[in-house]
């Protein structure tokens, strides 16, 4: 969603810096991946008896 919104500059309508747009999309994907990797760990900790 953010990559689509950042594709064009609102003031001029010119294409934005594609490398910067791709970097933002990649960093967002990395954050989602880290969150997905940590989710089973948190679930296992909650399921463990105290």
- Which DSSP string do the residues of 1-50 spell out, in sequence order? -HHHHTSB-TTT--B--HHHHHHHHHHHHHHHHHHHHHHHHHHHHHHS--
Nearest Cα to 19, choosing from 34, 32, 6, 31? 6
pLDDT reported for residue 32: 92
Residues with pLDDT less than 50, the chain: none
pLDDT reported for residue 34: 93
Kindly state the tokens that stand for 46: 């909650």
pLDDT reported for residue 19: 79
pLDDT reported for residue 23: 82
């Amino acid at each position: 969603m953010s990559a689509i919104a950042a594709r064009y500059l609102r003031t001029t309508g010119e294409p934005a810096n594609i490398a910067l747009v791709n970097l933002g999309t990649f960093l967002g994907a990395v954050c989602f991946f880290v969150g997905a990797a940590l989710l089973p760990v948190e679930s296992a900790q909650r399921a463990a008896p105290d």
